[in-house]
Structure 1
């Protein structure tokens, strides 16, 4: 049903995929396992012709071509998608080929409710024997989600809705690009269950960097490294006797490769949150939440999907208006240089924000170098309105390369020239982290910074954050669903639960070893500095 023959893909002079040969029959699931940046997402987008480019044979001067170009064959549902017309691809997408994308935030129309999304798919494919309520019941989705828009859904809920929409037309082939990367264990189990719905009637390619998922749900595994298939086999063979070093590194790697942390710091508080509450319409997300964050300390916020972790990160970063409660910053987070327009809170350059949805947080038509140069210029007050940032200055280029090296990204000219929309999910996530580090922040708000990374890359990122915390006394607000990441990096943990029943947030400091409530006297005590910075509802 899916057959790839000598498939190659390049962007400019850089090869992303080289001589890929794979076949997947109906009823089979093939896992494409590889580290971040190996070319997995590029393959998924190529199979649906979502990349802007052309066949290599039509190029006269390949060295001058900066876009995507490909060669070989990719036969999906009986059609070579690389030579198909626009009309043929329009018919294949959705009807014969389904895709569950890695960029959850951009996969749904923000103006439509879930009921409208389902109704649109049913009308497009002329499905009349099922209602939106029955669709949600079939895929074990709560019926109250039907009237919500994407902004009011958690990452796990969006993922399960996308699976339902992709499977409604009953495609013969399904491409799943990191379907469980940013989900907590409970939602991962629900997503895997949804993936198995009607599995015997289609061919599936599961793109993942999680060896546990590949070993548990797939019939065959192909290991991809630097654009090449280095080994294929059954889960049992690769688990017991992997032949290639990359296969052994990924499948037999320990799950707790992140470094441990030192004793909790005892510095002054840089952030205090008091009685924070937030709602989306009639849906409460946070209620009476209080905690503090010291200088050089990492606070990990854990909890199931939909409990308000990302909402808390956006509120603290000032990206959403405060409805109720107080967010108090210390004088240390205020800008040292004079500013013509004083900030009502901490200077934006003093806070590094890493979004859970990296592609939404990046300017699609900016290159990697321009993205980082813009952040550096903003932090130094050198960026003028409507002027594209320049990165030809040697000092700027050195700072950009240092930031990319810190998050294990390439620093060569072709990578610096790549547009952010052409990056994989893991590369985009690390670029967001590099941008946050480039401005030398005093506080980093990291929303799922390792969810799209393989184990090795995640360990490197965690080591970078740990070094910054210990050497530069940078405070970190870490949003994560992975207890191992929190245990390795955090000095204290804040566990959120769903609002219904009424939620409770229990604070556990690493040096106490027990759950304790935040101390009321600590929250209500006078904040340091003569001018405490408050963000309150006007």
Structure 2
């Protein structure tokens, strides 16, 4: 089998504008018949990468971009003009600016052909019409001016112009941006057909487009590549917290927990890892140095912690009373910042699992690790790391204590700060859970609170020690749907802001579907099925999971 040829080799590419580093230490290779998608937020440097490769970057560039054994960064303008449109073609993001308003589409493509081929104008014009017909533009549309075409038709014209000279390398900068879904799908299908056999770099913030077109994905953040690998592996199982954040923020029909953003904004010229101000699992070393893009198993990752870290590991856990085993040889892992939902009917062992992890009942056998450390006793340090939100808020709150005393109690027990500091912390926590901070509310007792208010106080109390793990045991089962929605939204916002990992216990698989990253189905003390929520919901394999989904809440008309 013939080995695929390297088309593009980028080494230590650096781009800056007025002293601001837009791209730094970019190293990429692209082979024949490979489509590499570059994904990331606006400002990550995606378009600057495409412009640097094509020799159109206005910033200061250093490094090496090898194409046909020529360093494009050292090429003359004449050499670049010879390559652009012939061997390297770029489809620009903004169709309005990319097409000349005074020439028909066919005339513009004719000029692109004549520029690189020794051919008479009439023959070039026929080739232009043929190229436009191949991408779905009839002679009537081919002879129209750009303003007479729709956005999708203009995009087709740009693709035809880029392909007409059969380039080796095709650069696509946001080719589906601003298109309606039907037109976007038409353009995506067209690109799938027309780019076969070519080397392609796809610049996009549209993850669905990347999934459909690319076989390799590079995640760009703050001008650096932070994750690189096969498209499916990256988009289904991200290892970098930023990549996970991108996927959570992207709404689509195949995922169930989305629209959860990343706090903060992107910054450039920072020491260390550019993502560290927004990262919820950062270390001191993240502020000091940029992690190398370490390559393992065909994937590259730039993360000082080696990826999204496990914060809670339960191994072979069993809890038995006499002959009854409420939890049987159970193993699970909870990762930093994720929500793992445990779903099952009453009596399946969910609450016993929560109480055993928290030390409210001792395990019969098995081990529990927090942040990689085996737990041998439940001391004060343990409860700084993990807290439990009980099912019934009124039973979880002492009727003898006021709201202020209830939230302050964990700080009192741990002797954290002065009395003034603790009072201030109580008000900050009440703000965080969206409750009043006036004296009247601070001095209320649990029986004076609504169900939703009581549950928010329970959550504020659980957050007082700033834990990284929250176990929520049916936290909304006693609330009406409206209040439940508010409490769930609150928990998700807290997770986003604090980087909380949540073990969310519920009997409601419809609710679990909306809030969890991963789902574990529990029956008779065992986990019978576990996986990414959207995959498990779409194709459950265990009969019990199928049964739970069949009886899940849905509105059915008579």
TM > 0.5: no
Structure (1 or 2) with the larger CA radius of gyration: 2
With structure 1 as the length reference, what TM-score do the two structures score?
0.44
Greater relative CO (CA pairs within 8 A, separation 6+): 1
